[in-house]
Amino acid sequence: MTSATLHDDFVVFDHVQKSYDGTSLVVKDLNLKIGKGEFLTMLGPSGSGKTTCLMMLAGFETATHGEIRLEGRNINLVPPHKRGIGMVFQNYALFPHMTVGENLAFPLEVRGMGKDERETKIKRALDMVQMGAFANRRPAQLSGGQQQRIALARALVFDPALVLMDEPLGALDKQLREHMQFEIKHLHESLGITVVYVTHDQGEALTMSDRVAVFNDGRIQQLAPPADLYERPENSFVAQFIGENNKLQGVIEELDGGRAVVRLATGELIDATAVNIREKGQQTLVSIRPERVEFKPELMPPGAHMLDAEVLEVIYMGDILRTRMRVAGTDDFVLKCRNTLGQTRFAAGERIRVGWHPEDARALDVI
């Protein structure tokens, strides 16, 4: 995706709100632009509003306030079948009494497409998802992964410019889910379609997306490419929701532009990047990713802070060694190391020193 493409107003949510009871808002003043050809993921916990946004875009829910536009056209009152949008659900939503070929033919017949053109498009769509030999099977004769491939092919068969996916891989086992993530991403890239994807799985969102919109309490907390979201969370909710995160409580001792000196609960002073910090004396959570924590002084830059740590447990995770420690008053401080030949392995009760580059510490607002 180029930056120019991302600014195309292909899909626009303009001051969109949604309430089911006329009082409480499930979606609160959503403003979002999605570029043509973009893969945008709506990520958030249950009840955060992400699925409601997708259903409003699909036409299965109606916005209480605001406007939703597709290619410049207001689609608030356009019924779902006239929006020209492909849809993939978690439960596949295949017709059980139809063969695979008949399932794919259905959206083409609705559009009045002739038999020869239907057959060409069905074959092409099945080949796209490596299911060309299954046209005469019924859904009950397929595995979960195969059914999801067919559901994906049905969403793509009529060449939609926009495809919506609602937790499409949630019912699959971990290995198959990871495999399908790459397949969907490769299809998106090869076809050039726009995809709006809903999930609560942060790994899925980081793996597949051009940009991720993190939802909480009906609002977008941060909208950014995956690397920015992970490396530079803009508030404590995003930092805690995206990836594993060490959190140290403290108070802002000094504030100078984008830098802060934080006094931890146990009295130590550390440097950090200030994010949404307004004044000295403010309570803060300092966030440090576990893989950025070091225990070898020679790897620390000059002036870096090293803190005392007590090893509480070591968990072997195959490719990763995960060490949980007591640091600066918290028992949930984690160090992650790659399981390489000769890597140091700690034992419970061992006392060590840990530290990190100052730029890897972020002083965040407390929610």
pLDDT of residue 2: 43
Contact 259, 273 (CB under 8 A): yes
Chain position carrying tokens 């008949």: 102
Contact 330, 248 (CB under 8 A): yes
Contact 265, 233 (CB under 8 A): no
Contact 167, 198 (CB under 8 A): yes
Nearby residues of 302 by Cβ (< 8 Å), 6 or more positions away: none
Topology (CATH level 3) of domain 244-364: OB fold (Dihydrolipoamide Acetyltransferase, E2P) (2.40.50)
The DSSP code for 294 is B
Q: What CATH number is given for 3-236 in this structure?
A: 3.40.50.300
Where in the chain is CATH 3.40.50.300? Answer: 3-236
Nearby residues of 138 by Cβ (< 8 Å), 6 or more positions away: 96, 97, 98, 99, 100
> How far is it, in rounded angstroms, from Cα 276 to Cα 289?
19
Helix (H, G, I), strand (E, B) or coil at 192: coil
pLDDT of residue 60: 95
Partners of 284 in the β-ladder = 250
pLDDT of residue 5: 43
For 96-100, the CB contacts below 8 A with 24+ separation are 96/138, 96/139, 96/140, 97/138, 98/138, 98/139, 99/135, 99/136, 99/137, 99/138, 100/126, 100/131, 100/134, 100/135, 100/136, 100/137, 100/138, 100/139, 100/142, 100/150
> How far is it, in rounded angstroms, from Cα 319 to Cα 59?
44
> How far is it, in rounded angstroms, from Cα 86 to Cα 195?
9
Where in the chain is CATH 2.40.50.140? Answer: 244-364
User: What's this model's pTM, rounded to 2 decimal places?
Assistant: 0.87
> How far is it, in rounded angstroms, from Cα 307 to Cα 287?
15
pLDDT of residue 8: 67
Contact 169, 200 (CB under 8 A): no
pLDDT in tens, the chain (367 residues): 444 344 468 999 999 999 999 889 999 999 999 999 999 999 999 999 999 999 999 999 999 999 999 999 999 999 998 999 999 988 878 899 999 999 999 999 888 889 999 999 999 999 989 899 999 999 999 998 899 899 999 999 999 999 999 998 887 888 888 888 998 999 999 999 999 999 999 999 999 999 999 999 999 999 999 999 999 888 888 988 998 889 999 999 999 888 999 999 999 999 999 988 889 999 999 999 999 999 887 877 776 778 999 999 999 999 999 999 999 999 999 999 888 887 788 999 999 999 998 889 999 987 6
